[in-house]
Amino acid sequence: MNLPLMHPSERPSASLEVIGLGFSRTGTESIKLALQKLGYVPTHHGYDVFSDPAQRNAWKTAIQAKYHGNGIAFDRAQWDVILAGCRAATDVPHILFAEELTATYPEARVILTTRDVDSWWNSYKETIAQLIAPEKDSLLARLDPNLPQKELGRLCFEALFGVKNEHVTEELAKRRYIEYHAKVRRLVPKERLLECDVKDGWVPLCRFLEKDVPDEPFPNVNTRQEFQKRTAGQHSTEG
Convert the pLDDT of each residue in 72-115 to its tens digit. Answer: 999 999 999 999 889 999 999 999 999 999 999 999 999 999 99
Q: Does residue 235 surpass a pLDDT of 50?
A: no
Which residues, 6+ apart, have CB-to-CB distance to 238 below 8 Å?
24, 25, 27, 28, 29, 30, 46, 47, 91, 221, 222, 227
Q: Classify the C-alpha dihedral 89-17-4-75 as positive or negative.
A: negative
| Radius of gyration of the chain measured on its C-alpha atoms | 17
- Tell me the C-alpha distance between 56 and 63, whole Å: 10
Predicted pLDDT of residue 220: 87
In terms of phi and psi (left: phi > 0; alpha: psi -120 to 50; beta: otherwise), the region of 155 is alpha
Predicted pLDDT of residue 142: 54
Least confident of 11-25, 80-94, 110-124, 223-237: 223-237
Q: Does any domain span residue 6?
A: no
pLDDT per residue over 26-58, tens digit each?
A: 999 999 999 999 999 999 999 899 999 999 999
Predicted pLDDT of residue 139: 52
Q: Does any domain span residue 224?
A: yes
Q: Does any domain span residue 239?
A: no
Q: In whole angstroms, how far apart are CA 100 and each of 19, 73, 78, 121?
A: 11, 9, 11, 26
Which CATH number belongs to the domain containing residue 62 in this structure? Answer: 3.40.50.300
- Nearest Cα neighbor of 20 from 62, 48, 56 is 48
Predicted pLDDT of residue 225: 59
Q: Does any domain span residue 7?
A: no
Q: Does any domain span residue 236?
A: no
- Nearest Cα neighbor of 49 from 153, 139, 127, 145 is 153
Domain enclosing residue 221, as ranges? 14-230
Q: Does any domain span residue 156?
A: yes
Count: domains in the chain:
1
Q: Does residue 20 surpass a pLDDT of 70?
A: yes
**2 pLDDT tier (thresholds 50, 70, 90):** very low
Model confidence, pTM: 0.86
Q: Does any domain span residue 223?
A: yes
Q: Does any domain span residue 235?
A: no
